[in-house]
Amino acid sequence: MDDDLKTRMENHPEINWSEVTRQAIQEKVETLEMMDELTGESELTERDVQEIADRINERGRKRIDEESA
């Protein structure tokens, strides 16, 4: 981690950065596992699967934003 990022994080001590990191890693691992599962017997490329996953994630974010408004 570079010093600038560390300083910016320190400006928000109310955030549990370990938990934020854990959640980000968990989400990435789950995405990779889903990609592995989808591509295991598929003719889709990893890029195809990543594009599909990105679209799903974007729609999920939009839905959450709409429900929060």
Q: Is residue 46 part of a domain?
A: yes
State the Cα–Cα distance between residues 28 and 16, nearest whole angstrom: 19
Count up the domains in the chain and report the number.
1
Cβ 49 vs Cβ 38: under 8 Å: yes
pLDDT per position as a tens digit, 43-53: 878 788 789 88
Q: What's the whole-model pTM score?
A: 0.54
Instruction: Give 64 or 14, the one with higher predicted confidence.
Output: 14
Phi, psi for residue 49 in degrees, rounded to 5:
-65, -40
Q: Is residue 9 part of a domain?
A: no
Q: Is residue 56 part of a domain?
A: yes
Residue-averaged pLDDT of the chain: 89
Write down the pLDDT at residue 62: 87
Q: Is residue 38 part of a domain?
A: yes
Q: Which residues contact 42 (CB under 8 A, 6 or more apart)?
A: 49
Structural domain range at position 36:
29-69
Q: Is residue 1 part of a domain?
A: no
State the Cα–Cα distance between residues 58 and 48, nearest whole angstrom: 15
